Chains A and B, each alone.
Chain A
Amino acid sequence: MNPREAFLDRVRRAVSEGNRAGDSCPLPERRGVGYQGAGPDAVRKFCDELAAAGGKPHVAADREATCRTVLDLVRGRGGRKAVLSRCPLIDRLDLAGRLRAAGIDLTVTDGPPTGLARELFFAADVGISGVYRLVAETGSVVLVTGPQQPRSVSLLPPLHIALAEPSQILPDLFDLFDLFSPVPTADKAVPPSCLTVITGPSKTGDIELRLVTGVHGPGEIHVVLCAAPLAG
């Protein structure tokens, strides 16, 4: 018997032996159990939870305020090198143009991936990304990996700025996993190679339980919510 067959054979025998006790049970349906939701004000709930996790929420009233907030954050941290992954919101804001105009050494991750040296990510001061969704219940930023959305943008630089719109907020963590299925359907996608749920800055309590941020991932995470509908 090869290792696989031997392994499965052991499991099969153990399963049937253990099931004789009679505790074999169907896969339960969750119904509403554990659903928290966002309450009446999803934006507020998201901002509160993000702040509680140590992240920094910013609600910008319009397109201009959104760009200004990002520029202030980058300059305020003395950021010179930034990596940016594109998304529809970032394109509409022309954020890349604004950052370059402000003298930031910017790399946009939309070219062929071979052209992107890993050193660039390691050296960057700021990573700027859109989001796939936000989760109000937990104050989380959800990112999916794709050709234009490398994992490194939100990981290697010490500062991560995520741009989002209120319409991207999901009330509950359960809602996030309802968006995926093993095979694509009309309203569900297959999970990406990497789905990342980020809740606050990188933390460790390994030294006498004193909270230190930024031990591996970004020490600061800012979410800029562009509140204005961006018609046109």
Chain B
Amino acid sequence: MDAAGTAVTDYARREHHDFLGASRQALGDPALQLALVRLTDTLMAGNRRGYAALADSSDLRDHAKRIKEHTLAHLDRYLEQLEASVLRLGGKVHWTADAEEARRTVVGIARAAGCTRAVKSKSMTSEEVHLNPALEAAGVHVVETDFGEFIIQLAGERPSHLVAPAVHHSRESIARILSDRVGTQLPDDPAVLAATGRRLLREEFSRADLGITGANFAVAETGTVVLVTNEGNGRLTTTCPRVHVALVGMEKVIPRLADLPVFLKLLARGATGQTLSVYTTILTGPRRPGEADGPQEFHLVFLDNGRSRVLATPFRESLQCIRCGACLNACPVYRRIGGHAYGGVYSGPIGSILTPLYDSVEANPHLPHASSLCGACQAACPVKINIPHMLIGLRELQHHRQPNRWEALAYRLWAAVLARPRLYRLALAGARALVRPLARGGWLRSLPGPAGGWTRDRDFPAPAARPFRDRWKELEES
């Protein structure tokens, strides 16, 4: 696979991140371990149940994938069609190349419309471009309205899961965060905490003049933007304020309204096992004459931010992602270390692809290796993205860009030995003689030197006293 270019967009993090250190810290945090097991077990059970309940889910997932493949192969055409549809409805369309342009555009819309109070429905694109600080700097008060996002906004953090952004918080810590906000001590009862969130956010909704969302899907032929939420904050964000801005990654386009149910049937099943999320909000243009609520102004802001660069490469398949979080829940690595350890806006297996591609391959050396390549991510993915294949592709890129001489030498030696049967037997006998004295009860507790990495977190099985090759000879003779 060839390079995905070298440009570094400011998708990037301000500081580069210590993946191994953060993982070790997560592994040593019992509360986080409990939360991750609870979340990922529940959601994965839902994922399996969801697909099983759909008679031909595998065929439907293939179909969804083909729609995405087709759309990406003709993306220029569909973007223009979507633009024309939105304009016809009286909406406005903006094209932004990177995070900086996206921030400037949204701030510009807020200024032009005289908006000072924004409510946001959960949007990964806005996380990606760090929209909130830019709006605050421009004097626009911004509030996240997804309950989990609201909590992490109050805590000054970033989401640690695509659909459960505050999974790393216990109810005690949520109670603490909300108590600080309201100035009284709240009990750690989920119902009380959620009711407090509702009350606080209702005030925000009643006063907001700007609603900011992403889009789960955008339909080219009708100019429709689709939001999927369980709480209803997506509806409130597009009902109360007079201006609606949707910041949409350009890969979210689908051709026709008839293609939408294909994805809707898979999205919630893949994410949580629900047949549908509670609210599917299908918005076609601004409020129409005579209507009592909904935004008077609608702005669609297309975001590139590195996507076109990836579109040209064999990593194009990563643009099929519908952000359901299923690969996170399925991944034996995510299930242990959680989202923050990945250091990017996106985490889990898909984050291990997106962060190196959009930030930089060199600055994220560990992410393509944060996988056992077991394939559970692909099996869980509603559009069957071949994540393991792309992780291997990234490892290959790393190798071409920064060849590791020692590793290359080791593999050359290994190849030379493998090609010579007698040498191979001799090498095995030597290794056996070296490590067998270290074995206790059939296991090696710790190997010396650079081999120590194998035994740091687990025991290594000791080699057998007599190799199978010798026993086989005997077995054949007897």
**Could you tell me if B230 and A193 are in contact, using CB atoms closer than 8 angstroms?**
no
**Could you tell me if A194 and B283 are in contact, using CB atoms closer than 8 angstroms?**
yes
**Could you tell me if A194 and B294 are in contact, using CB atoms closer than 8 angstroms?**
yes
Identify which of A4, A177, A201, A217 contacts B95 (C-beta below 8 A).
A4
**Could you tell me if B164 and A28 are in contact, using CB atoms closer than 8 angstroms?**
no
* A173 CA to B226 CA, complexed, in Å: 15
Some 30 contacts from A to B, beta carbons below 8 A apart, are A8-B76, A11-B79, A11-B250, A11-B311, A12-B76, A14-B309, A15-B72, A18-B311, A23-B73, A26-B70, A27-B67, A27-B255, A30-B262, A34-B60, A118-B206, A119-B206, A146-B290, A146-B291, A152-B239, A180-B222, A190-B222, A196-B279, A199-B280, A200-B278, A204-B147, A204-B148, A206-B174, A207-B171, A208-B35, A209-B39
**Could you tell me if A215 and B312 are in contact, using CB atoms closer than 8 angstroms?**
no
Chain B residues with CB under 8 A of A205: 164, 230
Q: A192-B284, A199-B275 are in contact. Are A14 and B311 (CB under 8 A)?
A: yes
Chain B residues with CB under 8 A of A10: 97, 304, 308
B59 interfacial by beta-carbon distance below 8 Å: yes
Instruction: Please give the distance in Å from A153's CB to the nearest CB on chain B.
Output: 9
**Could you tell me if B261 and A18 are in contact, using CB atoms closer than 8 angstroms?**
no
> Which 6 interchain pairs have the tightest Cβ spacing?
A217-B232, A147-B290, A113-B292, A206-B148, A34-B60, A14-B311
**Could you tell me if B276 and A140 are in contact, using CB atoms closer than 8 angstroms?**
yes
**Could you tell me if B278 and A198 are in contact, using CB atoms closer than 8 angstroms?**
yes
**Could you tell me if B54 and A36 are in contact, using CB atoms closer than 8 angstroms?**
yes
Instruction: Specify the chain B residue showing the minimal Cβ separation from A214.
Output: B198
Instruction: Specify the chain A residue showing the minimal Cβ separation from B286.
Output: A193
Chain B residues with CB under 8 A of A199: 274-280
Instruction: Please give the distance in Å from B312's CB to the nearest CB on chain A.
Output: 4
A166 interfacial by beta-carbon distance below 8 Å: no
Chain B residues with CB under 8 A of A34: 54, 56-57, 59-60, 63, 261-262, 265
**Could you tell me if B264 and A210 are in contact, using CB atoms closer than 8 angstroms?**
no
B170 interfacial by beta-carbon distance below 8 Å: yes
Chain A residues with CB under 8 A of B250: 11
* A121 CA to B235 CA, complexed, in Å: 14
Residues from 37 to 62 in A contacting B, C-beta threshold 8 Å? 49, 52-53
Q: A34-B60, A122-B206, A191-B222 are in contact. Are A208 and B257 (CB under 8 A)?
A: no
Residues from 147 to 188 in B contacting A, C-beta threshold 8 Å? 147-148, 151, 164-166, 170-171, 174
Instruction: Please give the distance in Å from B377's CB to the nearest CB on chain A.
Output: 21
- Could you say which interface size class chain A belongs to? 35 or more
Q: Count B-side interface residues using an 8 Å CB cutoff.
A: 101
**Could you tell me if B38 and A209 are in contact, using CB atoms closer than 8 angstroms?**
yes
Residues from 1 to 36 in A contacting B, C-beta threshold 8 Å? 3-4, 6-8, 10-15, 17-19, 21, 23-28, 30, 33-34, 36
Q: Looking at B42, B56, B279, B283, which has the most chain A CB atoms within 10 Å of its CB?
A: B279
Q: A177-B258, A193-B283 are in contact. Are A206 and B56 (CB under 8 A)?
A: no
Q: Looking at B236, B264, B282, B294, which has the most chain A CB atoms within 10 Å of its CB?
A: B282
B10 interfacial by beta-carbon distance below 8 Å: no
Produce 1/0 per residue, B96-116, CB < 8 A to A: 110001000000000000000
Residues from 115 to 157 in B contacting A, C-beta threshold 8 Å? 145-148, 151
Chain A residues with CB under 8 A of B280: 196-197, 199
Instruction: Please give the distance in Å from A6's CB to the nearest CB on chain B.
Output: 7
**Could you tell me if B261 and A216 are in contact, using CB atoms closer than 8 angstroms?**
no
Instruction: Specify the chain B residue showing the minimal Cβ separation from A119.
Output: B206
**Could you tell me if A33 and B257 are in contact, using CB atoms closer than 8 angstroms?**
no
Produce 1/0 per residue, A76-118, CB < 8 A to B: 0000000000000000000000000000000001000100101
Excluding A30-B258, A118-B240, A174-B261, 13 further A-B contacts by CB distance (< 8 Å) are A3-B94, A14-B309, A15-B311, A19-B73, A146-B290, A152-B239, A155-B239, A176-B261, A181-B257, A197-B280, A205-B164, A207-B190, A215-B231
